[in-house]
Structure 1
Amino acid sequence: MSALSITRKWRRLDEPGLEVLHVQPDDEGFLVLSTVVHAGAEAFGLSYLWQLDRDWRTHRLELHLASPTVETLQVERSEEGWQVNGRLRPDLADCEEIDLSATPFCNTLAMRRLQGSGELTTLYVDLPSLQLLPSRQRYTALGRDRWRYTDLGIAKGFEADLEVDDNHLVVAYEGLFETLDENQA
């Protein structure tokens, strides 16, 4: 990723929804700020702050959810393992990265971590329930800018093709998300 900040806008394809995401370099690595409006069957608003190290590994994720009550969740990687709202969660020890259900951004972290085809266990955050579970995933590189995602855990058997840019940010996520360019409203 270049030293320049990036803004990405996604539209959901399966239900009404939008996300506006900003990635900017900081002293520790990268700071990701995003707002999600999901207007589907289980409507919610979400803002998150995702702190990444220089290798695009999660240091901390802070979520603010409105659905219909306001809830916050903080997930942090520590030397002891994943901490959720300050409490160690040994049941999440095998999780290598976070998968936040409402955004295609988390796929970027998995693809960068694997640097090619492979599998990993993610800390899956279901929205709007905020349930946290380990989930196994496979990413298969189909070319320089194409990947196949296969869920081996929570949604076992689900597959989708992903199109990505040079920063591994999703441009199109088959059936779920597409990027809005600057000329679209």
Structure 2
Amino acid sequence: MSRSVLFWRRTDVEGLERLELVVEPDGVTATSTVLCLEADGFRLDHRWRLDPDWRAQSVIVERWGPQGHATLQLERAGSGWRVNGAPRPDLEGAEEPDLSVTPFCNTFPIRRTPQGAGTSLALDTAFIDGAEMTVARSSQRYDRQGPGRVRYVDLGLAKGFEADLVVDEAGLVLSYEHLFERVAPL
């Protein structure tokens, strides 16, 4: 078992995330808190359960802000997803969740992107808007640029958005152009 604590700072708005990651032979769990001044300010907690291959099995998202408290649960159901227990046929075939307020979920497809510059992985996601607490299908692509470097290309809801990502040996984001950078605790 390995346990680590990661911190990311938002670079587009004021915000900070603390994520505790536990990797065990039978799977991965992550528990995180995000504090963000975006959307009138909010706190968002997210808890992930992944299989040993880092494929998301479920995520629970809780948000506190000026509009009150909201909870959203997304869980894998065969080749699709359930949202708050209800089947979502529009998410059938979406490979992974993507939560807007964290770079953590980029790790799942990055770990599956073939090694070697010029290789790519395209996938559909169940995109969770953390500020709005909604889920919609979206598409994205990861282009391997070399060791520890990946280009993110949005092909769906934010079509046209692209960013360079620098990742560590585990595929966890060190920097995400325009949005996040990993920081060490003092």
TM, length-normalised to structure 2: 0.92
Q: Hey, what's the Cα distance between the residues in 1 that align with 2:40 and 2:168? A: 30
- Asked whether the 8 Å contact 1:149–1:159 carries over to 2, the reply is yes
Contact 2:79 2:94 in 1 (8 A): no
Which range is displaced more, 117-126 or 105-114? 105-114
CA contact (8 A) 1:140 1:147 kept: yes
**Separation (CA, whole Å) in 1 of partners of 2:19 and 2:65:** 20
The unaligned stretches of length 5 or more in structure 2 are none
In structure 2, the CA distance between the partners of 1:141 and 1:80, relative to structure 1 (3 Å rule), is: closer
What is the one-letter code of the residue matched to 2:126?
Answer: L
Partner SS for 2:38: coil
The one-letter code of the counterpart of 1:145 is: G
SS at match of 1:107: helix
Letter in 2 for 1:100: L
Match of residue 19 from structure 1? 17
Match of 1:33 in 2: 31
Given that 2:81 and 2:87 are in contact with CA atoms closer than 8 Å, whether structure 1 keeps it comes out as: yes
Normalized per residue, which structure has more strand?
2
In the alignment, which residue of structure 2 is the partner of 1:149?
152
Task: Give the TM-score taking structure 1 as reference length.
Answer: 0.93
Instruction: Give the equivalent residue in structure 2 for 1:48.
Output: 46
What SS does the aligned partner of 1:5 have?
strand
Q: Could you tell me how far apart the structure 1 residues matched to 2:124 and 2:2 are? A: 30
Deviation at 1:85? 0.8
Match of 2:95 in 1: 96
1:113 is matched by which residue type in structure 2?
R
Q: Is the 8 A contact 1:56 1:113 kept in 2?
A: no
Say if 2:128 is the partner of 1:125. yes
Aligned length: 181
- The equivalent of 2:170 in structure 1 is 167
Counting aligned pairs with the same residue, the percent is: 45
In 1: Cα distance, 2:138 partner to 2:150 partner: 19
Q: CA RMSD in A?
A: 1.4
| Cα distance per residue 1:50-71 (max 9 Å; x no partner) | 0000010111101111122111
| Structure 1 residue runs without a partner (length 5+) | none
Secondary structure of 1:14's aligned partner: coil
CA contact (8 A) 1:137 1:149 kept: yes
Query: For the structure 1 residues 106 and 80, does the alpha-carbon distance in structure 2 shift closer, same or farther, using more than 3 Å as the test?
Result: closer
Q: CA deviation at 1:130?
A: 1.3
Alignment of 1:74-89 (within 5 A): 74-79=73-78, 81-89=80-88
In structure 2, the residue matched to 1:62 is 60
Runs of 4+ in structure 1 over 6 Å off: none
C-alpha distance in 2, partners of 1:127/1:151? 17
Q: Tell me how far apart the structure 1 counterparts of residues 25 and 170 of structure 2 sit (CA, whole Å).
A: 19
Paired residue type of 2:184: D
Q: Deviations over 1:100-149 (max 9, x none)?
A: 00000111011123344220001100121112111110100111100000
Partners of 1:80 and 1:54 lie apart in 2 by: 18
Amino acid at match of 2:150: W
